[in-house]
Amino acid sequence: MNGWTIAFFTYLLTIIIAFFCAGMIHLMVIILGKYSKKKS
């Protein structure tokens, strides 16, 4: 793989993983929020 291909592939994968993490955080906050409401 040449440098630009590695760079492009890495950036694409980073964006996917980063937004997957962000989505997971968002989901977690919603679920934990509902759980804590139920508890209270």
Partner 1 sequence: MSWDAVINIFQGVNTLIDGFSHNPKVAIVRIVLILLGFLLIYLGKKEILEPLLMIPMGLGMAAINASIMYFDPLGLHGGMGTFFVESQAGATIDAIKNAADIITILQIDWLQPIYTFTFSNGLIACLIFMGIGSLLDVGYVMVRPYQSMILAVFAELGSIVTLPIAQYFGYTAKQAAAIAIVGGADGPMVLFTSLRLAPELFVPIAIIAYLYLGFAYGGYPYLVRFMVPKKLMAIKPPPQKKKRDITSGEKMVFAVVTCVLLCFLLPVAAPLIFCLFFGVVVRESGVKVYINLLQGPILYLSTMFLGMLLGILCDANTIMDPKVLPLLLLGILSLLISGIGGILGGYLLYFVTGGKFNPAIGIAGVSCVPTTAKVAQKLVAKANRTAIILPEALGANISGVITTAIIAGIYCSLLAK
The verdict on 10 binding partner 1 (CB under 8 A) reads yes
21/9 Cα distance (integer angstroms): 18
DSSP 2: -
Tell whether residue 15 is a contact of partner 1 (CB under 8 A): yes
- What number of chain residues touch partner 1 (CB under 8 A)? 26
CA distance 5 to 31: 39
Residue written as tokens 């980063």?
A: 18
Does 7 contact partner 1 by CB under 8 A? yes
Return residues touching partner 1 (CB under 8 A).
Answer: 1-4, 6-7, 9-11, 13-15, 17-19, 21-26, 28-29, 32-33, 36
